[in-house]
Chains A and B, each alone.
Chain A
Amino acid sequence: MAESKDFRTDKKPVWCPGCGNFGILTALRGALADSGYEPHQLMIVSGIGCHGAVIQYVNANGFHSIHGRTLPVATGIHLANHELCILTMVGDGDGYGIGMGHFIHAMRRNLDMTQIVHNNKLYSLTTGQTSPTTDKGRPTKSTPFGVIEIPVNPLTLALSSGATYISRGFAGDPPHLRKLIADAMAHKGFALVDVLQPCITFNHANTNAFYKERVYKLEDETGYDPGDRQAAYERALEWGERIPIGLFYRESRPTYEDEVVTLKDMPLVKRPIKGVDITKTLEQFL
């Protein structure tokens, strides 16, 4: 079985020292080892942003796609070969901004894949503009007088869009995040792992210390039941003195590919493509 170190490459991460992406990378490699998959059985699709480089540092099949478009690429790969285990790694700009449409539809479909969002509440690679998760009123490079909109709430959005595993991790707690990712991968259906990721360089509000003071784990709350959608909504709306992390909601529902009849016997990619006979179809044109 592959170990955490087997998922390393010889590339050295180019993130700023102290960036939350390091914690995510550590957690990810650990989770990949825990998952039991080997590098060639995985497919990691990443977007464009600081986070996107992650596939350079993970030894597994990868597809560094374009900004906001990871999910449809991942969907195509998945529908062609549902034996590959698929993860998408996106930024908050990538996943909740430019790629928002795909996100909602992927959840509706309950595609069997795991989406990890490096949520640093900013567009960092482009030097610190507002993102859809930036707090209202926060000045950024593109909103020097403060953001006017209210932020997107990825968790309530996921709850109402049909995701079947909805969680939030913290880059400053890799062991906890590792478990969330491993569980997400084991879950059959669309799994969201929104990760609170400090950006040391541009986000001076949502720092490591900011989160450390506030985060608490849902699994430590007595009586919290991730099968209770209503309770999940309440926790998903909580953001202030206390910020919940952990598994908010889990549900079992048939996945998209479960319901595609033509994928029942084998993945599409295993079907022979040569010598297809169309004679029978031609009769309808007579």
Chain B
Amino acid sequence: MEFSWMVGGEAGFGIMASGLTLSKTFARGGLHVFDTIEYPSLIRGGHNTCMVRTANREVHSHTGYIDMLVALNEETIHLHKDEMAQTGCILFDGMHEPEDRFGVHADISLFPIPLGDIVKDIGGRPIMRNTAAIGATIALIGYDLSILEDLLADMFKRKSEDVVRDNIHVARAGYDFMMDNHPGGSGIIVKPQDNYRRMVVTGNEAVGLGALSAGCTFYSAYPMTPASGILHFLAAEERNYNLVVKHTEDELAAILMAIGASHAGVRAMTASSGGGFSLMVEALGLAAMTETPLVIMEGQRPGPSTGLATRTEQGDLRFVLHASQGDFPRVVIAPGDVEECFQAAGHAFNLAEKYQVPVIILTDKFLTESHKTVLAFEPVPVDRGMLLDEAHLDRITDYKRYEITDSGISPRIIPGHRNGVFRANSNEHDEYGFDLEDPLNRTAMMDKRMRKLEQIASELPEPHLYGPQKADVTLLSWGSTKGPILEAMLLLKNNNITVNFLQIMNLHPFPLEKVTRIMKRATLTIDVENNKTAQLAGLIREHTGLKVDEKILKYSGRPFTPEEIANSVAEVVEHGRK
């Protein structure tokens, strides 16, 4: 069983909220869900959609086809009728099917429902049309209405009894209308599955949860799509976890406050998109030079400049790898799904503190704002590395904050101890932190800092290879393309093409050994990326000297659908076989 549902309408219609409501309704029935939103950078008007895809197996991404379209305005039908599955149906706000059937293919059923009237009769607000549409959806697929009713009760109980009652009322009216007028349903059947209680979580929320679980208590940021979700999430949790969450005057202040807080001894984080990260670049080097642990999430969106503010792309890989002047060690982790976002946050804090380096979690709009079901999050145990405690400091007489060691790691302290007075310094400095321009010291300090990279590289897990060891095609990719690629692999299986997929999550330090091994062994390599210039393919070439055979690239500001990847792979293979 697989079902893909889309709701579309203007901004302000509550599209995102209704998508999430349906996602949770499925998740509470033991199903797996993935949902994703598309919206322009507007508060009212424009065209918004949310696609919810559910199945009785793990769902990794949305799809390119729609089984059921809920059109809150007519434009939605015209924009999406070509994406309808052959046996799909359209539910729209109206009393009758118009004569021209909106020009929709004859195989597609139309289900008119007077959503506006239903809501009005009950005295509800126009935004509740969504709720009626979800009730109607449930009737059309034979799902269990009581799950939705329970969810609505939980969702609105904080508001008031009346709100709960009205919402349930509207949902039931939508449901009843369809049961009365189309008792045969839509022909699509979606049934609750098991009793697992799966959570419905976005990448942003997972990063935020990962940060909380890692003991992060300081978060400073400036709003920017698609990273604002972390700010909203953590700000709401500020008092539950004794955090300080600061909306700063700009992104410079955001990163610098996080650096200050980390210097003072707490776990601190900031996040933005590429534009905000551009402003953070100078301070990134400050964190590196002062060896201050720092976690930054960069949620990519299409550039250059403001670009497509609410869309997705993977165009900033090279940028985060090289941002800021000079050579210094950094870590770049690109999680591929919600669970990996949570894990990445936990590991990022540990790596940042153990190695006293900036760690960048590289995500994108598709990952940070899409929901996926997750059964549980596995906490990453906190490891603060060489952080000297009070007892140790009591015994110290000559503290060198930047002591040159074999590992390159110098023991860190929390400032405030009598024996631990030191200077952090953006200038090149001696072991105590005093300015020093001496060439030998400079060389030794540069070597010391860079030495940490070798150890980091040996600690990071190797990239994971999905699929069989030997395959016709080896896909290489990073970040959020993981979802559509895993789905495409299922499609290709039916196509008699064997595919495996190397997901390169830790991009820096680069996992040289494994990538080389896989590249050498592969029959046909294809790089899949959501950018114009195949940045990963370039990186692979740079590190391994090996060239990927083919590239599948998309830079329309929209994520890949599984079908697009599967078709492109099939084409490449076809081409090769001829």
Contacts and interface: CB of A to CB of B under 8 A. Distances in A.
Contacts of A260: 244
A274 B260 contact: no
A66 B287 CA distance: 11
Contacts of B377: 278, 282
B434 interface: yes
Contacts of A43: 264, 415
B397 interface: no
B415 A286 contact: no
A199 interface: no
Interface stretch (B1-9, B114-122, B248-256, B305-313): B248-256
Question: How would you classify the secondary structure of chain B's contact residues: helix, strand, loop or mixed?
Answer: mixed
Contacts of B427: 64
A80 B374 CA distance: 33
B239 A261 contact: yes
A74 interface: yes
Nearest to B382: A274
Contacts of B564: none
B423 A61 contact: yes
Most buried by B among A11, A45, A285: A285
Contact of B264 (A62, A77, A261, A281): A77
Contacts of B246: 79
Nearest to A55: B423
A144 interface: no
A60 to B, nearest CB: 7
Given A40-B420, A105-B253, A276 B266 contact: no
Given A56-B435, A66-B283, A278-B212, A79 B242 contact: no
Interface stretch (B196-204, B326-334, B458-466): B196-204
B435 A53 contact: yes
B425 interface: yes
Given A55-B423, A64-B423, A286 B259 contact: no
Nearest to B28: A286
B260 A77 contact: yes
A281 B249 contact: no
Given A76-B259, A276-B215, A62 B266 contact: no
Given A11-B434, A61-B422, A77-B261, A273 B256 contact: no
- Classify chain B's interface size: 35 or more
Contacts, number: 193
A281 B234 CA distance: 11
A4 interface: no
A4 to B, nearest CB: 17
A38 B262 CA distance: 22
Interface string A9-22: 10100000000000
A84 interface: yes
Given A66-B283, A281-B212, A285-B199, A269 B264 contact: yes
Contact of B218 (A38, A45, A79): A79
A278 B264 contact: no
Most buried by B among A43, A102, A273: A273
Interface in A1-49: 9, 11, 38-41, 43, 45, 48
Contacts of A271: 217, 242
A273 B262 CA distance: 13
Interface in A54-70: 55-56, 59-66, 69
Contacts of A80: 217-218, 244, 260-266, 268
Contact of B267 (A60, A81, A273, A281): A273
A79 B261 CA distance: 7
A154 B97 CA distance: 70
A101 B418 CA distance: 34
Nearest to B218: A80
A262 B265 contact: no
Most buried by B among A63, A71, A101, A263: A63
Contacts of B215: 272-274, 276
B257 interface: yes
B213 interface: yes
A76 B265 contact: no
A268 B267 CA distance: 10
Contacts of B242: 262, 268, 271
A55 to B, nearest CB: 6
A77 B263 contact: yes
Interface in A253-286: 260-263, 268-269, 271-276, 278, 280-282, 285-286
B416 interface: yes
Contact of A64 (B24, B199, B260, B425): B425
B27 A286 contact: yes
Nearest to A108: B249
A219 interface: no
B400 to A, nearest CB: 15
Contact of A281 (B237, B261, B422): B237
Given A84-B416, A263-B244, A268 B266 contact: yes
Nearest to A105: B249
Contact of A81 (B249, B259, B416): B416
Contacts of A77: 260-261, 263-264, 415
A260 B261 CA distance: 15
A40 B244 contact: no
A271 B537 CA distance: 44
A74 B266 contact: no
Given A76-B256, A81-B264, A286-B199, A262 B286 contact: no
A72 interface: yes
Nearest to A275: B382
A260 B238 CA distance: 10
Most buried by A among B154, B215, B262, B420: B215
Contact of A65 (B220, B256, B258): B256
B414 A269 contact: yes
Given A80-B264, A81-B416, A268-B261, A72 B253 contact: yes
B340 interface: no
Contacts of B241: 276
A40 B201 contact: no
B238 A262 contact: yes
B33 to A, nearest CB: 11
Nearest to B427: A64
A76 B258 contact: yes
A78 to B, nearest CB: 8
B283 A276 contact: no
A247 B116 CA distance: 66
Nearest to A81: B264
A73 B424 CA distance: 11
8 contacts: A63-B260, A64-B424, A64-B425, A76-B220, A77-B261, A79-B257, A260-B244, A276-B212
Q: Which 5 A-B pairs have the closest CB atoms?
A: A76-B260, A273-B215, A72-B256, A285-B199, A76-B257
Interface of B: 24, 27-28, 154, 197-201, 205, 209, 212-218, 220, 237-244, 246, 248-250, 252-254, 256-268, 282-283, 286, 290, 374, 377, 379, 382, 384, 414-427, 433-435
Given A40-B420, A271-B217, 13 more contacts: A45-B260, A59-B421, A64-B435, A65-B256, A71-B253, A75-B260, A81-B414, A101-B249, A271-B242, A276-B215, A278-B209, A278-B213, A281-B209
